[in-house]
Amino acid sequence: MGVIGQIITAVVAALSQNITNGASKLGTLEADVLPFFRTDNPLPNGFPWSTLTSTKNNPYTSAPNTGVTRSYTFTVTNMTLAPDGVPRPMIVANGQYPGPTITANWGDMISVTVNNELKDEGTSIHWHGFLQSATPWYDGVPGVQQCPIAPGKSFTYTFKAELYGTSWWHAHYSAQYSAGLEGPIVIYGPDDYLNASTTYNKDLGPVMLSDTYYRPYERILDDVMSKNEATVINAGTSDNNLINGKMDANCTLAASYGLQCTPNAGLSRFQFTKGQKYRLRLINSGAEGMQKFSIDGHSLTVIANDFVPIQPYTVDMVALGIGQRLDVIVTANGSATSSYWMRSSIFTDCSGARQPDALAIVQYSQASSSVAPTSTPWPNSLPNCQTAETPLSQVHPVFPITPPTPDLTLTYDMTFHTNSSGNWLWYMNDTSARVDYNSPDLLLAKLGNTSFPDSESVYSVKDSIKSVRIIVNNQSPALHPMHFHGHNMYELASGLGTWDGTITNPTNPARRDVHNVPAGGYYVMQYDANNPGVWPFHCHIAWHLSGGLDVQLLEHPQAVTQLQIPNTLAQTCRDWAAFTNVDVVDQIDSGL
In this model, does residue 4 exceed pLDDT 80?
no
- pLDDT average, residue stretch 519-535: 98
Q: What is the pLDDT of residue 182?
A: 98
Contact between 115 and 155 (Cβ < 8 Å): no
Instruction: Indicate the SS3 state at residue 540.
Output: coil
66/189 Cα distance (integer angstroms): 12
pLDDT in tens, 186-212: 999 999 999 988 999 999 999 999 999
Mean pLDDT (whole number) for 23-43: 93
Among 270-274, 386-390, 469-473, 580-584, the range scoring the smallest mean pLDDT is: 580-584
Calpha distance 153→37 (Å, rounded)? 34
Q: Is the pLDDT of residue 18 over 80?
A: no
The answer to whether residues 283 and 184 touch, using CB atoms and an 8 Å cutoff, is yes
Q: Which residues pair with 154 in a beta bridge?
A: 115
pLDDT over 70 at 19, yes or no: no
Question: Using one digit for the tens of pLDDT, what is the confidence trace for 377-430?
Answer: 999 999 999 999 999 999 999 999 999 999 999 999 999 999 999 999 999 999
Closest by CA position to 292, among listed 216, 337, 348: 348
Whole-number Å distance between alpha carbons of 495 and 493: 7
- Distance of alpha carbon 467 from its chain centroid, rounded? 25
The larger pLDDT score, comparing residue 41 to residue 150, is at: 150
Burial label, 211 (beta-carbon count in 10 A; 0-12, 13-18, 19+): buried
pLDDT attached to residue 3: 46
How many whole angstroms separate alpha carbon 300 and alpha carbon 315?
Answer: 5
Per residue in 530-584, pLDDT (tens digit) is: 999 999 999 999 999 999 999 999 999 999 999 999 999 999 999 999 999 987 7
Beta-carbon contacts of 190 under 8 Å, excluding residues fewer than 6 positions away, are 47, 49, 52, 53, 54, 106, 164
Q: For the sheet containing 467-474, what is the strand order?
A: 424-428, 408-418, 467-474, 521-528, 489-496, 510-512
Which helix or strand (DSSP H or E) is residue 256 part of? helix 251-256
Q: What are the structural domains, with CATH classification, of the chain?
A: 408-582 (2.60.40.420)
Backbone angles phi, psi at 201, to 5 degrees: -90, -40
What is the SS3 string spanning 374-432? Answer: CCCCCCCCCCCHHHCCCCHHHCCECCCCCCCCCCEEEEEEEEEEECCCCCEEEEECCEC
CA distances from 119 to 77, 91, 175, 218, 438 (A): 8, 11, 17, 14, 19
Confidence check: pLDDT of 5 > 60: no
pTM of the model: 0.95
3-state SS class at 80: strand
Please, where are the H alpha helices in 465-565? 542-546, 557-561
Tell me what pLDDT residue 22 has: 84
SS3 content of the chain, % helix, strand, coil (to 5): 15, 35, 50
Q: Are 504 and 392 in contact (CB under 8 A)?
A: yes
| Other CB atoms within 10 Å distance of the CB of residue 17 | 10
d(CA 63, CA 52): 9
Whether 10 shows a pLDDT value over 50: the answer reads no
Helix and strand element counts for the chain (H, E): 8, 30
Q: Mean pLDDT in the chain?
A: 94
Query: How many Å apart are CA 521 and CA 523, to the nearest integer?
Result: 7
- DSSP type of residue 456: G
Interatomic CA distance for residues 541 and 351, integer angstroms: 10
Q: Do strands 202-212 and 277-284 pair parallel, antiparallel, or not at all (unpaired)?
A: parallel
218, amino acid identity: E
Give residue 20's pLDDT band: very low, low, confident or very high (50, 70, 90): low
66 and 41 Cβ atoms separated by less than 8 Å = yes
CA atoms of 345 and 90, how far apart (whole Å)? 23
For position 14, what pLDDT does the model report? 41
Average pLDDT value for residue range 247-265: 92
Count of alpha carbons within 13 Å of 80, Cβ hemisphere only? Answer: 6
Strands 102-105 and 182-188: parallel
Note the pLDDT of residue 23.
87
